[in-house]
Amino acid sequence: MTNWLIAAAALAVLAPAVFADQLADQVIAPPAAPGPATGLADSAALRATVYGTPPQDIAPMPAKVPLVEINMRMPWARPVPDVFWFDRDLRVWFSAQDKPAPLVIVISGTGGDGNTTVLSTLRGALYGAGYHVLTMPSPTFPGFIVSASTTGVAGDLDQDGRDLYAAMQRIVAHLPRRVRITDIDILGYSLGGANAGVVKSIDATQHRLKIHRAVMIEPPVSLFASVGRLDRLFATSIGSGDVDVERLYQKLYAQLANLYRASDRVRVDENFLLTAAAAVLNSDSQFSAAIALTFRIDLMNMFFAGDLYAGTGVVVDPEHPPKVGDSLERTQQILRGKPFSEYFTKVFAPYYLKRRPYSTPESLIAENRLDIIADALRNNPDYYVQTNSDDLILDKAELAWLENTLGPKIAVYDHGGHLGNIGERRQIADMLDMLAGRWQGVVPGAAP
Amino acid sequence: MRLAALAAVAAMGLCGCATEGMIIHRMPAETPAADNAAAIQRAASLSAAKEAADRAQAAAEARGEAPAPPLTPADAPPPKTYDPWEPLNRFSYRFNARFDETIFLPLSNGYRRVPSPVRSCVHNFFANLAEVDTVINYTLQGRLGRGVRALGRFAINSTVGIGGLFDFATKLRLEDAPTGFGTTLSKWGMHPGPYLVIPILGPSTLREAVGLLGDYGTSYEVNLANLYRGNVSWALWPLNAVDQRSNISFRYYSTGSPFEYETIRFLYVRKLLLEDEGLHKKSPRKPRAPDLPAGQ
């Protein structure tokens, strides 16, 4: 996550946003404030979440992994809005073995495209273990929302699962004939972990892909509780208003300028930014700010797309949607200050309440918990979970729920925060054992 | 000869193929094992470099050379960026995205299949040519020490490095530190000026664009080894461009975000301004009016 600096600077963009519409009537109550996650108070967990797995702890990787990018149009996609002209095709990445092999479909985390750093690490490990690997964007990634969503309003586990499932079928069916697939497994990290579980359960009734095993890496248990924690992290580490975001930008700029002056470099390049990140990012409050900002940037894109498609008019005038070439600076400013709870109350809930008779905001929240597949998680031996006891997106009760529900099919590591141990030797070895159905559960006293 | 070369380049570019609405682009293979080894090495070298820098700073402070007063958050440029030609710039940005997707990126992906020692020779060759501009501009900036180092690099790499194909100077601890006319203009006190998206080349500002012209003009006037006015000059620009593109991992709209133009503009101009802060650390410039957008 070294590009956090870019992310931070990107978010800190421009003059104060106006919160005039904050007084607007909030008919729908936002999700109740969730309990804190254990990892949020844990310095090591925050650090791991920001810096990721140290390269010396990464599992053995193959020397070479072939890669193709696949662009494909989904026939059910909604008309592409002008401002999203570049997201017409769904983009996925594929690495093929040259012999018959099982396929693993890997789903990205919140807001991630189909070729993130984490996906690249997983791809290396999976390809090295003899799998074909297909990596997909998160259904919350704007490129997916535009090219493959049937609603344009992302964040609903069941609906996103159905859209993903349809896209997977279409892609797998059109893969070149020389790719011979013997079996299909599914995997995902973070929100993608929850998506993977839901897709497998949809497949269990429709049998179109015959997905064998699912490994869910560090999934949320309750979507809205997890993002609520990130909203709160933003409020406590950065502030609630735009003035606070601007203050963060000014502080960061001055810090970088002083570091750059003290260095002997003639360019602000990647090496400088990496060194600077180590100097700027070393306290819990800075880690928290970086994590909260990264999430907010993803949310801004999803919020914008949802508002545009649903016609809810929070930042996009439904009568006059922005055209190619229009400045979106002002919109970006406003969105920067908007938490997820506002996406829920003003875009997500109004859209789904209208389309799902008998539903209430409470039922929408309940439907976005892993409970919807609890029976399968409990009784089907082909679902596995990997998570960390200091994950930032889970609280104790949710972790206990996962442990109780999955029983012997869950591995809980004692470090890593959120995604800060993906690619580690132990995590990769367990993941490969789970996919192959030979995982024996946690061996007491095993060397990490 | 010229046609054959263009045909070969086009063939390299046409690596995508389509089946039933599915477009498949071959990407350069990933090399995770080597990348990871490089990451470990880089982490070690960065921490070594940081220790050296800390020691140097401590030594300077011990000698009583106080650095310029540090910047405070109040000195940060406003978040708004000076972009009076925004409609035109947005048009160029879209053009660049399409050009990159259909021509530039496929070419550079094809080029990345050329064995890496060959590519590194090409890269070193162009870096060595640029050393001429670097020497001249360091002189114009009054940074003679750096100018002499660049001249040394040029002399070593042009001879021992066989016309610049190999970078021996770096092995002798004479690291590459390129500069150009844009930086010289900044040293002379010019601000970045209006944001400008140059077709094909990408984000820039008026000052940097003038700098690019100046650099090209200098190369053309110096006309090293008759490369810029001779028989092969037509191939020089495209090859240089493909070499540079293949070393940049940026991909237009890979963020999927509708705010990409704003984000890139913000980051690019902040990067320039940070570099300006470094150039003027000994002679801080007058504070700007706070209501002027960044860059003006």
Can you tell me the mean pLDDT for A373-400? Answer: 96
Decide if B274 and A274 are in contact by the 8 Å CB cutoff. no
- Cβ-Cβ pairs closer than 8 A, A with B, add up to 200
Confidence of residue A14 (pLDDT cuts 50, 70, 90): very low
Model pLDDT for residues A135-190, shown as the tens digit of each residue:
999 999 999 999 999 999 999 999 999 999 999 999 999 999 999 999 999 999 99
Confidence of residue B282 (pLDDT cuts 50, 70, 90): confident
Asked if B134 and B177 count as a contact pair (C-beta separation under 8 A), the reply is yes
Chain B CB contacts of A113 below 8 Å: 254-256
Confidence of residue B276 (pLDDT cuts 50, 70, 90): very high
Model pLDDT for residues B70-114, shown as the tens digit of each residue:
888 888 898 899 999 999 999 999 999 999 999 999 999 999 989
Model pLDDT for residues A91-132, shown as the tens digit of each residue:
999 999 999 999 999 999 999 999 999 999 999 999 999 999
Strand ranges (E), A26-111: 65-72, 90-95, 101-107
Tokens 């729908």 map to which residue? Answer: A28
Class of domain A57-224+372-436: alpha beta
Can you tell me the mean pLDDT for A260-277? Answer: 86
pLDDT score at B2 = 58
Can you tell me the mean pLDDT for B199-219? Answer: 95
Interface of B with A in 140-169 (CB under 8 A): 146
pLDDT score at B203 = 96
Q: Report chain B's mean pLDDT, rounded to a whole number.
A: 88
Q: Is the pLDDT of residue B213 over 90?
A: yes
Q: Is the pLDDT of residue A348 over 70?
A: yes
Asked if A8 and A252 count as a contact pair (C-beta separation under 8 A), the reply is yes
Single-letter amino acid, residue A414: D
Q: Report chain A's mean pLDDT, rounded to a whole number.
A: 89
Alpha carbons B104 and B98: distance in angstroms, whole number: 9
| Segment holding A335, helix H or strand E | helix A329-336
Confidence of residue B67 (pLDDT cuts 50, 70, 90): low
Q: Is the pLDDT of residue B69 over 80?
A: no
The answer for B5, left when phi > 0, alpha when psi is -120 to 50, beta otherwise, is alpha
CB atoms within 10 A of CB A49: 28
Q: What is the 3-state secondary structure (H, E, C) of A262-279?
A: HCCCCCCCHHHHHHHHHH
Tokens encoding A129: 């273990």
Decide if A121 and B252 are in contact by the 8 Å CB cutoff. no
> What are the distances in angstroms from CA A193 to CA A42, A106, A217, A219?
23, 9, 5, 5
Strands B202-205 and B195-198: antiparallel
| Segment holding A31, helix H or strand E | none
> What are the distances in angstroms from CA B45 to CA A203, A229, A289, A372, B50?
49, 37, 28, 49, 8
Single-letter amino acid, residue A83: V
Closest chain B residue to the Cα of A265, Cα to Cα: B177
| Between B223 and A300, the higher pLDDT residue | A300
Query: Whole-model pTM?
Result: 0.89
Decide if B27 and A68 are in contact by the 8 Å CB cutoff. yes
Alpha carbons A60 and B293: distance in angstroms, whole number: 49
Q: What is the 3-state secondary structure (H, E, C) of A393-438?
A: CCCHHHHHHHHHHHHHHEEEECCCCCCCCCCEHHHHHHHHHHHHCC
Decide if B258 and A58 are in contact by the 8 Å CB cutoff. no
Share of chain A above pLDDT 90, in %: 76
Burial per residue of A138-173, b for 16 or more beta-carbon CB atoms within 10 angstroms, e otherwise: bbbbbbbbbbbbebbbbbbbebbbbbbbbbbebbbe
Considering chain A, tell me which residue range(s) the CATH 3.40.50.1820 domain(s) occupy: 57-224+372-436
Alpha carbons A215 and A206: distance in angstroms, whole number: 20
Min distance A312 CA to chain B CA atoms (Å): 18
Whether chain A has a CB inside 8 Å of the CB on B176: the answer is no
> A329-336 and A284-310 are packed helices; what angle lies between their axes, rounded to 10 degrees?
120
The residue of A133, A246, A266 whose CB has the most chain B CBs within 10 angstroms, and thus the best one to mutate to test that interface, is A266
Q: Of B276, B126, B103, B272, whose CA–CA distance to B204 is shortest? A: B272
Confidence of residue B249 (pLDDT cuts 50, 70, 90): confident
> A157-174 and A191-206 are packed helices; what angle lies between their axes, rounded to 10 degrees?
70
pLDDT score at A9 = 40
Q: What is the DSSP string of A239-262?
A: -SSHHHHHHHHHHHHHHHHHHHHH
Model pLDDT for residues A63-93, shown as the tens digit of each residue:
999 999 999 999 999 999 999 999 999 999 9
Tokens 């991909």 map to which residue? Answer: B251
Whether chain A has a CB inside 8 Å of the CB on B29: the answer is yes
Chain B CB contacts of A58 below 8 Å: 36
- DSSP label of A366: H
Identify the weakest region by mean pLDDT among A64-68, A183-187, A258-262, A416-420: A258-262
pLDDT score at A38 = 59
Q: What are phi and psi of A67, to 5 degrees?
A: -150, 135
Asked if A208 and A139 count as a contact pair (C-beta separation under 8 A), the reply is no
What's chain B's Rg over C-alpha atoms?
Answer: 22
Q: Of B260, B98, B27, whose CA–CA distance to A115 is shortest? A: B27
Three-state SS at A170 = helix
Residues in chain A: 448
CB atoms within 10 A of CB B20: 8
Q: Of B180, B126, B135, whose CA–CA distance to B153 is shortest? A: B135
Which residues sit opposite A293 in a β-bridge? Answer: none
| Between A22 and A362, the higher pLDDT residue | A362
Q: Is the pLDDT of residue B251 over 60?
A: yes
| Between B37 and A21, the higher pLDDT residue | B37
Can you tell me the mean pLDDT for A291-296? Answer: 92
Can you tell me the mean pLDDT for B24-36? Answer: 92
pLDDT score at A242 = 74
Alpha carbons B112 and B114: distance in angstroms, whole number: 5
Query: Which residues neighbour B241 within 8 Å (Cβ) at sequence distance 6 or greater?
Result: B104, B200
Three-state SS at B169 = helix
Q: What are phi and psi of A156, to 5 degrees?
A: -95, 120
Alpha carbons A376 and A213: distance in angstroms, whole number: 12
Three-state SS at A362 = helix
Find the DSSP H helices in B172-250: 181-187, 206-222, 233-246
Q: What is the ipTM of this complex?
A: 0.87
Alpha carbons B120 and B166: distance in angstroms, whole number: 8
Alpha carbons B73 and B59: distance in angstroms, whole number: 27
Decide if B25 and A304 are in contact by the 8 Å CB cutoff. no
Whether chain A has a CB inside 8 Å of the CB on B229: the answer is no
